[in-house]
Structure 1
Amino acid sequence: MTNLQSVPGYRTLAAARVLSSTILWVDFTLVFSLLGYYWQADAATIGVASALYGLPGLLLGPFFGALADRVSPVAMLVVSYLARALTSLLLLFAPDIHLFVLLVFLKGLANLGAMPAEQVIVRMMLSKEQFVFNASIMTTIDQLTKICAPLVGAGMASLHHPMAGFGLSATLGLAGILCVYPLRKQVGMSKREEGGKQARRHLHALFLLARDNAVFRRAFVAAVSQTAILGLYDPLLALFLKEKGMPAATFGMIVSSTAAGAILGALIFKQVHAGSRHCTATIGLAGFGLTVAIPGLLAWAAIGMPVWLLLAFWVANGCFYGLTAMGFGVAMQQQCQLESIGTVSATARSVQLAALVLGPLAGAALAKPLGISLVFVLSGTIAIVIGGVLGRAPRTGMQPPLLKPPVEQERP
């Protein structure tokens, strides 16, 4: 059965995802807009705030994932919404920039519980066939809120009292608590009691699963590679556009184009996944590489590109990026056992964050000797090569010998 509307509690879960994504992007927009325009922070302070915002996910993500495997995911989601609401209220009344930056760290910490808890809930509520449809719906929700929520945050930041925007964030957090609380009827702990006892033995579940399951390994390597390659070239994008004489507004148009492309990817994901089965992530990685390498090659060869062509490349870029991300998400849900899904998802996220941190450092180092255009060519070429190698890898070890295959939850 693939009709998600008939799954008890799924609409509530989707509504919670809307609230969660909206809070994330409103907060992100407010934090960095206010640092620059309200607090008059310098570049170093903004850099510190950015690092503190992402540091909790990098260092503590796996611990929150393991916690999601041992406690009620609904309770964890409720606590996450409450923590987000409280940190928003504290940011609202921050008296100086130093405390504001400290609270940005707490805001990043408060965000950690939502993702692994949602992964556990999805794994418990849906069947193996429904994961593909869920990936399409959740990606569409995330990308639509990525387009709309920053506009709301920007509007709040432009008010006479811009800090009041955090009042909206706190209100959404409280609404999230009311939204997810009814899920306790559909998601209990009875079927996870054994998993809760075993959770401590699965702190290395990600590495065991990647070692013993070819389907997951292929998707995981593709997702991490794509994240690292994004970090390699993406911070240089504004300079790339400036070098080619593009107007300043082009950067914002590209950001919107990638979001639109990701929505397109969500719409076609079911068809692509059905046709490629376990190679969706690798196909997405290779296509992603093409959309980076070709503009870089054209720029290096001094071949002019109209703005519409550049935007078309980045619509395709967002589409392929989304296919890889959704392919990895489905592989994780289908191949990972229930009692370790929180640990695996959170640890995988931390690995991707680490790749995203190291990528810009490598990109900046390569830009000096090679030039920005060749960094784009190199980034895209690496993605194409890795995607091709993963796509040709033998399909052995479809089920991990050390981990039980996913158990379908019976419908009432």
Structure 2
Amino acid sequence: MTQNTLQKEENTIWQNSTFMKLFASYSISMLGHWFDMVAIVILFGYVWQANPLVIALIPVAYALPQVLLGQFAGVLTDRYHKVKIMMAADVMTAVLTAILLFTNTPWSVLIIISLRAAVNVVHNPSQQGLIKLVVKEKLIMKAVTLNGTVNQLSKIIGPFVGATLVGLFSPKLCILINAIAFTISACILLFILLNKELNRKTTVPKLVKSSGIGFWAEWWQGWKIVLNSKVLFISLLATIIGLTAIQMVDIQFPVLFREIAPNLPELAGWLMGASGLGALVMIVILNRFSKLKKFGWLIGASMLLIGIGFGGLGFLREGFFILLPISLCFVAGLGVGLLTITFQYIIQTETTEQEIGRVSGIVNSAMSFTVLVSPLIGGMLIQSFGIIPICITSGIILAVLGLSLVFGNSLLFERSVNVEEKVAAGE
């Protein structure tokens, strides 16, 4: 009986009880997060009538703690029990979110959002590490795509349902839902800790934890892992360049469409939905695969799809067929889904159990930096040259980068024998 159960756990992700509990915790907290995001935006924009500069600080409050603390959070998650770290973060997040219910000024909310984001920097490195720890390698693709699916569905369902609840009741109801969601998430994680078998499965073996070096040495070692791995470094560099080009433009779509479709303010929402749907479709497709190969082809294809979608928008003129921009954003969404899952899969397969937290922390820090810097660069360029030339240029850059990665796959993404041996040893 035990042998049959073990066999099932090895053959299907749904039979991995440890992962499914972690997955449930992640799903609930992600849905609550997007309810909360809608509430914050509506409070600032409509209830408090905050000026544009203050509203622009909302993404800064979310991203800046990730930039400053993400790498160090990765070291922390490599050193200690990841489930305990996540549970503590969920409890503190729930408390800080509850405090938001009693705040009535934009500045106090920004401070609490920043504190909450600082607490949450440990989540992604811990989650990546736990996938590596409790999921068999042949099922990692299933685990990554399941998390990606929940992430995309949360982005669609959370804002839609959240906005409806805000219209019927109050923005603070969505904040309360988020506090409850993180409390439930913490309770699920507590159940894992109280179960001796699940607790054992989520504990990194002592031989893995006892590296015998200090905190700062481990942090620097994480950077050396990224810099010395050709696959990790090239994929991270390509992703940063791609995301910078994307984020320079996507936040400025209202500027483009108020020029060529001034009577369709709702179009921005439709395009966001089309992009999210495209990403979700791609993730569902990728879920059918057990592993990914030819990383240059996959990342290159994702850049090409995003470049076609974004660059194509720059060629639209007044009187365009309404399904054209929706189709272009759907294509771009396919590329975003392919890029996201491929890069997460690379992090999982190119690291060992004792490295993945640090690598994930470094990656999160770098990605958050692009979130802060790219919109500012894009805003200045668009102010100088206009939205249409920048949109087309970004699309061309992404397409050229994508084609370069496709044709340079064998050179840029060839794994060395040392890396193969190291990953095999870590498994």
TM-score w.r.t. the length of structure 2 is 0.88
Q: Is the 8 A contact 2:125 2:360 kept in 1?
A: yes
Cα gap change, 1:406 to 1:22, in 2 (>3 Å): farther
Match of 1:286 in 2: 304
The Cα shift of 1:293 comes to 1.6
Mapped partners of 1:183, 1:406: distance in 2: 28
Mapped partners of 1:90, 1:78: distance in 2: 19
The Cα shift of 1:238 comes to 0.9
Q: Is the 8 A contact 2:146 2:287 kept in 1?
A: no
Q: Is the 8 A contact 1:258 1:315 kept in 2?
A: yes
Q: Is the 8 A contact 1:228 1:359 kept in 2?
A: yes
Match of 1:195 in 2: 209
Mapped partners of 1:275, 1:83: distance in 2: 37
Q: Is the 8 A contact 1:213 1:400 kept in 2?
A: no
Mapped partners of 1:245, 1:126: distance in 2: 48
Cα gap change, 1:137 to 1:401, in 2 (>3 Å): closer
- RMSD, aligned α-carbons: 2.4
For structure 1, the 5+ residue unaligned runs are none
Match of 1:90 in 2: 99
Q: Counterpart of 2:267 in 1: which secondary structure? A: helix
TM-score w.r.t. the length of structure 1 is 0.91
Question: Taking every aligned residue pair, what percent have the same amino acid on both sides?
Answer: 19
Q: Is the 8 A contact 1:89 1:166 kept in 2?
A: yes
Cα gap change, 1:214 to 1:75, in 2 (>3 Å): same
The Cα shift of 1:381 comes to 1.1
| Paired residue type of 2:299 | A
Mapped partners of 1:46, 1:61: distance in 2: 24
For structure 2, the 5+ residue unaligned runs are 1-9
Match of 1:212 in 2: 228
Q: Is the 8 A contact 1:232 1:359 kept in 2?
A: yes
1:265 aligns with 2:282: yes
Q: 1:186-244 deviations in whole A, cap 9, x for unaligned?
A: 33435155335357333135542343323223322232122111111112211111121
Mapped partners of 1:311, 1:192: distance in 2: 52
Equivalent pairs, count: 406
- Bigger drift between 385-394 and 196-205 goes to 196-205
**4+ residue segments displaced more than 6 Å:** none
Cα gap change, 1:49 to 1:136, in 2 (>3 Å): closer
Match of 1:149 in 2: 158
1:35-184 alignment to 2 at 5 Å? 35-184=44-193
The Cα shift of 1:382 comes to 1.0
Match of 1:24 in 2: 33
Q: 1:341-395 deviations in whole A, cap 9, x for unaligned?
A: 1111121111111122222222222223432111111111111122222233304
Q: Is the 8 A contact 1:219 1:327 kept in 2?
A: no
Cα gap change, 1:182 to 1:290, in 2 (>3 Å): same
Which one of the candidate residues 361, 375, 379 is aligned to 1:346? 361
| Paired residue type of 2:348 | Q
Mapped partners of 1:207, 1:273: distance in 2: 29
Q: Is the 8 A contact 1:136 1:270 kept in 2?
A: yes
Mapped partners of 2:227, 2:318: distance in 1: 44
| Paired residue type of 2:402 | G
Mapped partners of 1:126, 1:272: distance in 2: 16
Mapped partners of 1:192, 1:250: distance in 2: 54
Mapped partners of 2:103, 2:95: distance in 1: 12
Match of 2:5 in 1: none
The Cα shift of 1:330 comes to 0.3
Mapped partners of 2:290, 2:254: distance in 1: 33
Mapped partners of 1:7, 1:272: distance in 2: 18
The Cα shift of 1:254 comes to 0.6
Q: Is the 8 A contact 1:64 1:343 kept in 2?
A: yes
- Bigger drift between 186-195 and 62-71 goes to 186-195
Cα gap change, 1:407 to 1:80, in 2 (>3 Å): farther
The Cα shift of 1:153 comes to 2.7
Q: Counterpart of 1:158 in 2: which secondary structure? A: helix
1:322 aligns with 2:340: no
Mapped partners of 2:31, 2:269: distance in 1: 19
1:221 aligns with 2:230: no
Which one of the candidate residues 350, 372, 381 is aligned to 1:366? 381
Q: Is the 8 A contact 1:26 1:169 kept in 2?
A: yes
Q: Is the 8 A contact 1:219 1:282 kept in 2?
A: no
Mapped partners of 2:110, 2:378: distance in 1: 27
